[in-house]
Amino acid sequence: MMPLFAVICRDKPDHLQTRMETRERHLAYLAERPVVQFAGPFIEGGSPIGSLLVVEAESIAAAQDWAANDPYAQAGLFASVEVIEWRKVIG
């Protein structure tokens, strides 16, 4: 089994429209690459403000490359993206 990495993305302020316009391409990217173990948006005030994805990759560099090619990242949605190794313990 390959290592897991948490990809923690924070949206730029006032970029909800970018998120909505890019959502279908983002979901297609996730579906085309079966490295995602689970994913979903951070919510504040009822609106998405970022994303958390846990992905399987050979290395942190591979996980960072995968994250950089996400359509959301390509569209300039994120103010920050952090990729850190993660280990599942419960669940």
Mean predicted confidence (pLDDT) in 12-20: 95
More confident residue, 33 or 3: 3
pLDDT over 90 at 32, yes or no? no
CA pseudo-torsion sign 17, 18, 19, 23: positive
47: buried, middle or exposed (CB in 10 Å: 19+, 13-18, 0-12)?
A: exposed
pTM of the model: 0.92
Q: 33-88: per-residue pLDDT in tens? A: 778 999 999 999 999 999 999 999 999 999 999 999 999 999 999 999 999 999 99
